[in-house]
Structure 1
Amino acid sequence: MKIKQAIDRIPGGLMLVPLLLGACVHTFAPHAGKSLGSFSNALITGTLPILAVWFFCMGASISLKATPVVLRKSGVLVATKVATAALAGVVASRFLPPGGITSGFLTGLSALTVICVMNETNGGLYMALMQQYGTKEEAGAFCLMSLESGPFMTMVTLGIAGIASFPYATLFGALLPFLIGFALGNLDPELRRFFGSAVPVMVPFFAFALGNNLDFAVILNTGLLGILVGICVMLVTGTTLVLADIFLAKGNGTAGIGASSTAGAAVAVPQIIAGIEPRYAAVAPAATALVATSVVVTALLTPVVTSLWARRWGVLSAKYRDAAFASLDALTDSQGLDGQLERRPLEQ
């Protein structure tokens, strides 16, 4: 059976198929992990440990020479994502009630909801996609994306950062595995090759664990509005991130598409913010459902859109072009022709 070959035909298959399987387990057998226990439970619920090891290996695979590229890429993506969310929140606050909408089809919509769904990137999904469709430097851009996790940036964007403190220890803890791997990989090239080879292998395992945090029933609970919110997140943040990646980070836009998702951690933010700012208390439950739906929708759409973009304008198109030229070079050599064909820029 050619299972791997069949999965590779699906855009983002190595990420998407295990993620869907995990979501099915969580939807139809939510207590499977606790019932099975032991290693099965660890595989089902081990998102953070798997991500930690993966992050370590990713750090080990990046050369010191690439550090400026990583910092520039991650800085551009984080700044653009936060700025987009802030602007969208300001616009939403002009048209929506201060505490959000609490009845009707638009129940749950508020400036808080808009900022939550756009402010945080699914870092694990981003790294998996960049490993498959981008470059090591683009995958390493996740190192600064931890700034978006949790309620901190949301509080800043909402203008209530004065009652919150920056979690330095948490940020350092998120970066530490990457930094250790980065140090070892640059001290010993053999270790870089050893740990770097494990990065693609761990993609389906992390995707399966990530899928076990998603519930398809959430889409039914929030209805069409939740789906539309997820699509809007892809359209709005995807557009600004692609433009920033191309014109500021000197990329091809693939990293921008890969960073246009909503992080699973964002689901907890509405309730946290509501506990600090009482005016959002009434809308927090519905906002949480909308954010959760956006997590599901963007987790499904981002791999597909990223794959399509990469195959047309990204790294994959360059790989296919080089492979085609290599075949043509071999053909001309076999016919006794001197030199190689002229390689012109890929026409868009």
Structure 2
Amino acid sequence: MNIKSRIDRIPGGMMIVPLFLGACLNTFAPGTGKFFGSFTNGLITGTLPILSVWFFCIGASISLKATPLVLRKSGVLVSVKILTAALAGIIASHFLPSEGITSGFLSGLSVLAIIAAMNDTNGGMYMALMQQYGTKEEAGAFCLMCLESGPFMTMVTLGLAGLAVFPWQTMVGALLPFVIGFALGNLDKDLRAFFTQGVSVMVPFFAFALGNNLNFTTILNTGLLGILLGLMVIVVTGTTLVLADILLARGNGTAGIGAASTAGAAVTVPPIIASIEPSFAPSAPAATALVATCVVVTALLTPPLTAWWARRFGVLSPRYRQAEAARAAALETAPAE
């Protein structure tokens, strides 16, 4: 039936489709989990346990062996993305109520939604784009982007913005599965290969569980607003990342455009943050729907924008090709030592 290939045609399909199916179940049969109980209830309501395994597998997939150039590039992109999200959160906090906007066209918009949408980069898409339009070092910058996955960096961002205070035990607890996975994956390459397989496998399961916290009313109410938020993610984070790539990482801006997206994992952040800090609970459902829309919007728009930038200023531009040709000619004419 080619189910998987059809799902893969949808941007972020393995996240979006199970999320949608979970929302269907929660909208039309909200008591299903309690009715069947046991493993069925665990699959429907087990967001945190499933995510904890997923974070562990992500940590195990990261190799410590990276060149200084790769670490510099990835460090610049990750830190600037986080600082941009924090600054956007600080600005938004002066205009938005703590529980988010509850009426009108902007209903559902909250500081949590803005930070969660801007904080995480779609690492898989970034790596694919850099393999086509960037350099090997820029593609390797994916290694630190995995740190953005999950609630830890959003908790850090909320803390930087002065919007929340989390106990140190909670901060460590959010990072511990990732750190343990990272340690095991770097101690044994076979363990890394084994656990890395779980990264993609776990996605539809936690997406389905997340969807069971949503209903169609929330999704429909935030549809157009989610599109606008996705555009804001590209414009705001894209601008700061391009400048950082050119000025700090000595790139041409292509990596900055490629990182201007929202990761599918960002959908998990609002409900997790709400479970840790109850003050965010009222805004979490709408924030989850908004972030899910951002995932789709940025997945559709970031690739063509990256391709356009690469043709104008990057490795596909006439200026870059001329510089590479001149460098190759100089090497050919250089006297042999």
Q: Which category of TM-score, normalised to the shorter sequence, fits these structures?
A: 0.5 to 0.7
Cα offset, 1:33, TM superposition: 1.7
Instruction: Spell out the pairing of 1:196-275 with structure 2 (5 A cutoff).
Output: 196-220=196-220, 226-227=225-226, 230-231=229-230, 233-240=232-239, 242-243=241-242, 246-247=245-246, 251=255, 253-259=257-263, 265-266=269-270
C-alpha separation in 2, matches of 1:99 and 1:15: 28
Cα offset, 1:171, TM superposition: 1.7
Equivalent position amino acid for 1:177 in 2: P
Do structure 1's residue 22 and structure 2's residue 22 form an aligned pair? yes
Match of 1:149 in 2: 154
Distance change in 2, residues 1:195/1:229 (3 Å) = same
Q: How many residues align?
A: 295
Distance change in 2, residues 1:264/1:194 (3 Å) = closer
Equivalent position amino acid for 1:149 in 2: T
Match of 2:329 in 1: none
Cα offset, 1:81, TM superposition: 3.8
C-alpha separation in 2, matches of 1:167 and 1:239: 32
Instruction: Spell out the pairing of 1:303-322 with structure 2 (5 A cutoff).
Output: 303-305=299-301
Match of 2:43 in 1: 43
Match of 1:7 in 2: 7
Do structure 1's residue 54 and structure 2's residue 54 form an aligned pair? yes
Distance change in 2, residues 1:237/1:139 (3 Å) = farther
Distance change in 2, residues 1:302/1:66 (3 Å) = same
TM norm structure 2: 0.65
C-alpha separation in 1, matches of 2:37 and 2:123: 28
Cα offset, 1:240, TM superposition: 3.8
Deviation per CA, 1:133-175: give whole Å up to 9, x if none.
787863652435644435x744653x577xx4x4321221122
C-alpha separation in 2, matches of 1:303 and 1:182: 27
Equivalent position amino acid for 2:238 in 1: T
Cα offset, 1:120, TM superposition: 2.6
Counterpart of 2:260 in 1: which secondary structure? helix
C-alpha separation in 2, matches of 1:260 and 1:244: 25
Equivalent position amino acid for 2:78 in 1: L
Cα offset, 1:34, TM superposition: 1.8
Distance change in 2, residues 1:118/1:179 (3 Å) = same
> Which runs of 5 or more structure 1 residues have no equivalent in the other structure?
277-283, 315-348
Distance change in 2, residues 1:84/1:304 (3 Å) = same
Match of 2:293 in 1: 297
Cα offset, 1:21, TM superposition: 1.3
Match of 2:173 in 1: 173
TM norm structure 1: 0.63
8 Å CA contact 1:56, 1:179 repeated in 2: yes
Equivalent position amino acid for 1:301 in 2: V
C-alpha separation in 1, matches of 2:36 and 2:118: 28
Among all aligned residue pairs of Structure 1 and Structure 2, give the percentage whose two residues are the same amino acid: 39
Decide which moves more: 192-201 or 113-122.
113-122
Cα offset, 1:234, TM superposition: 3.1
> Which runs of 5 or more structure 2 residues have no equivalent in the other structure?
131-138, 311-337
C-alpha separation in 2, matches of 1:101 and 1:47: 23
C-alpha separation in 1, matches of 2:290 and 2:191: 39
8 Å CA contact 2:19, 2:211 repeated in 1: yes
Deviation per CA, 1:197-248: give whole Å up to 9, x if none.
2222222222222222332212455686x44663454344442465267445
C-alpha separation in 1, matches of 2:222 and 2:299: 23
Distance change in 2, residues 1:181/1:195 (3 Å) = same
